[in-house]
Amino acid sequence: MSASFELLKTDTTTAARRGRLQTLHGVVETPIFMPVGTQGTVKALTPAQIRETGAQIILGNTYHLNLRPGAELIRDLGGLHKFMGWDGPILTDSGGFQVFSLAKLRDIRDDGIVFQSHLDGAKLFLGPREVMTIQANLDPDIAMVLDECPPWPCSREDCRQAVDRSYRWAQQCKQIATDNGFLGSSRHVFAIAQGSTFDDLRREAAESLTALDFSGYAIGGVSVGEPEPEMFKQVAATAPFLPAHKPRYTMGLGTPPQLLKMIALGVDMFDCVHPTRVARNGAAFTPDGLINLRNERYRADPSPLVAGLDNYTCRHFSRAYLRHLVMANEILASTLLTLHNVHFYLDLMAQAREHITAGDYSPWHRAWIERYEAGARQE
C-alpha cells in the first residue's frame, strides 16, 4: 500500500527526516505539526485563521464527533471537510485513546471495547468495524486503526496482551477499509505501534505492523504519564524499526523542545492540544520560553509577543494589550493567543524542515532548545 510519501532528505548526524506526503486534499510537507480540531473546530479559530497559521493538515477526533453530532449526520452533510469548512487534509484518530482516558467504565475484549459515554453514561461499543465505519463516514484523508493503549506503568503481561490485540485489530481495520472502499479512494490508513516501556515488544509491534504494509505508522502509548526521559526512550526504541519510506507519527505531543527532539529521533508528524490549551489560559510561546501574560511585568509592555514573527497577533498587538484582554476575560484573547501559538508551532516546523535540508539540523535544534529552556527558567 503506497502512502505517496517521498523521503527527500535524512540528516547526517541525527535521524531527522525531510519528507512530503501526498493526500487527496493536498500535499503535506514534513516534519509537520497538526492542530487539533477535536470536535470539528480548532478551538477559537475559523478555518481561514487556521490557514493563516500555516497549517497544512488538522486532526479530528472520531470519539467526540461520533458522539456529537454523529458520524452519519456528518456523512449526510457532505463529510467532515464540508461540515467544518476546511478544504485541506484531515487526519482522524480512532477514538480508542479517548475511551481509555474519558470513559467512566470500560471493558476491553478481543472484539473491541465496551464503554460508557462521558456525556450521558450510555453504553457504547467500539471495535475495528465500528471505528473504520465511523471514519469512512467522516471521510478524512488519513484514518487511524483501533489500538489498545496500555497505561503507564503496566506489567509486561498486560503490555503483551495490548500489543497482540492491537495487531489483530490493525489487521481487521485494514481489511475493513479495503472492503468498504476507503483505501481505494486515495485515502490512507495508519497503524499504531504500542509496547509501553518494553523495548523488545516495541520492536516486535513495529516489525509486525510493518509487514502489514500500512500507509504510515504512529508510535503510540507515549506521553501517558511516564517521565520525559522514558518517553524519548520509547520513541527511540520504536522509530528505527518502522519503514523509512513511510511517514512516522508520534501521537499527542508535545512542547516545542519535545517536538524538536522527536524530529531528531526520526518522527515526521505530531499533534497536541498544548498550544491551543495554554492560549486559552493566557500564555504564549516565544523562543525564550512560554510566557504567562497574567504577570504584572507585561502590563505596560509595548512589544509584540515575538518580534518579527509574521502572524496577525504579532503584527498588530502588544503584550500589554493582550494582557489586558486576558485580565478582562475577553473572548478575543483566546483567538489572538491561539492564532499566535499555533503559528509558532508551525513556524518551528518550517524552520526544522529548512535546517534538515541545509544539513545543520543537529546544531540548530540543540541551540534552539538551549535558548528556549534558559528563558523558561527565568519566566
Active-site positions read 93, 271
Report CA torsion sign: 259, 359, 354, 240: negative
**Measured between alpha carbons, how far is residue 219 from residues 89, 97, 144, 216, 346 in Å?**
21, 13, 12, 10, 21
Distance between CA 95 and CA 197 in Å, rounded? 23
DSSP state of 85: T
C-alpha cell at 338: 491561539
**Measured between alpha carbons, how far is residue 86 from residues 67, 91, 362 in Å?**
21, 12, 35
Asked if 159 contacts 115 with a C-beta cutoff of 8 angstroms, the reply is no
The residues, any chain, with a CB within 8 Å of residue 287's CB and separated by 6 or more, are: 306, 368, 371, 372, 375
**Phi, psi at residue 327, to the nearest 5°?**
-70, -30
Angle between helices 228-238 and 199-210 (to 10 degrees): 40
- Side-chain-facing half-sphere of 278: CA atoms under 13 Å: 20
User: Is the peptide bond between 240 and the residue preceding it cis, with omega within 30 degrees of 0?
Assistant: no
